[in-house]
Amino acid sequence: MKLDRREFLRLAGMGAVAGSLATAGFAAPEGGGEDKMAFELPDLPYAYDALEPYYDEQTVRLHHDKHHAAYVAGLNGAVEQAERMLKSGDFGHAKAVAKATAFHGSGHMLHSIFWTNMKPGGGGEPTGELAEAISKQFGSFGSFKKLFLATTNAVEGSGWGILAFCPTTHMLAVLQAEKHENLAVWGLMPILALDVWEHACYLKYQNKRTEWTKAFMDHLVNWDEVARRLKEAKS
């Protein structure tokens, strides 16, 4: 079974983070042999230095080419291990494989969203349907921004601030993820993800996480892409 980036993101958008990936990771390996699933590192939608001075080139290079790439490799490794278990009938590593699938799969998914959530000359405020949904849910864009920053800044250790959409109730929710996969709410779809692992900002912002998250919201966030994800999630 092949699952290219588009298909992965579609799946990622259609269900809970860990749920979709568990499904993807443990789908029956039809045919076996050559026909194995391989996740790929998506290209950045801009040059490495395009987000300067708010997101420095060196961090973007390391973050994308090394850190995100490691999650892609880890996810592919977990899928291969799952296939080996199914072939051998020895399920002794089932727990480790499930954990690796959730960690690396969620890491791959959230980074894939994160890169598209930024653009040169970003920031400002959303418009249209997204702006209406945010006002309806949080009272105003200003209130949402305060809540999103407070939530993201308060992540314990390594993790993410996330704006997610619930396809059942059509509500928006501001969430945290610890690591990549903990504190997820099953069924909610992330449409905005802000990385606050140290690797995401330490070279430029050191321990000043609040400066990184403020720079992201004021100068980098790509509301058009968040709006596109909301629209896609609704359809």
Q: What residues make contact with Mn ion under the rule CB under 5 A?
A: 195, 197, 200
Among the listed residues 65, 167, 191, the one whose alpha carbon sits nearest the alpha carbon of residue 116: 191
Q: How big is the chain, counted in residues?
A: 235
165/191 Cα distance (integer angstroms): 7
- Nearest CB to Mn ion, comparing residues 103 and 197: 197
- Least distance (Å) from Mn ion to the CB of residue 178? 13
Q: Are 149 and 217 within 8 A, CB to CB?
A: yes
- Least distance (Å) from Mn ion to the CB of residue 60? 11
Among the listed residues 141, 112, 122, the one whose alpha carbon sits nearest the alpha carbon of residue 52: 122
Q: How far is CA 140 from the centre of its chain?
A: 25
Q: Are 206 and 100 within 8 A, CB to CB?
A: no
Residue nearest to Mn ion (CB): 195
Q: Are 141 and 125 within 8 A, CB to CB?
A: yes
- Nearest CB to Mn ion, comparing residues 83 and 195: 195
What are the tokens at 58?
């060196």
- Nearest CB to Mn ion, comparing residues 197 and 216: 197
- Least distance (Å) from Mn ion to the CB of residue 111? 6
- Least distance (Å) from Mn ion to the CB of residue 80? 23
- Nearest CB to Mn ion, comparing residues 59 and 222: 59
CB atoms within 10 A of CB 231: 13
What is the residue whose two structure tokens read 């909610």?
A: 188
- Least distance (Å) from Mn ion to the CB of residue 161? 12
- Least distance (Å) from Mn ion to the CB of residue 132? 31
- Nearest CB to Mn ion, comparing residues 112 and 222: 112
- Nearest CB to Mn ion, comparing residues 16 and 113: 113
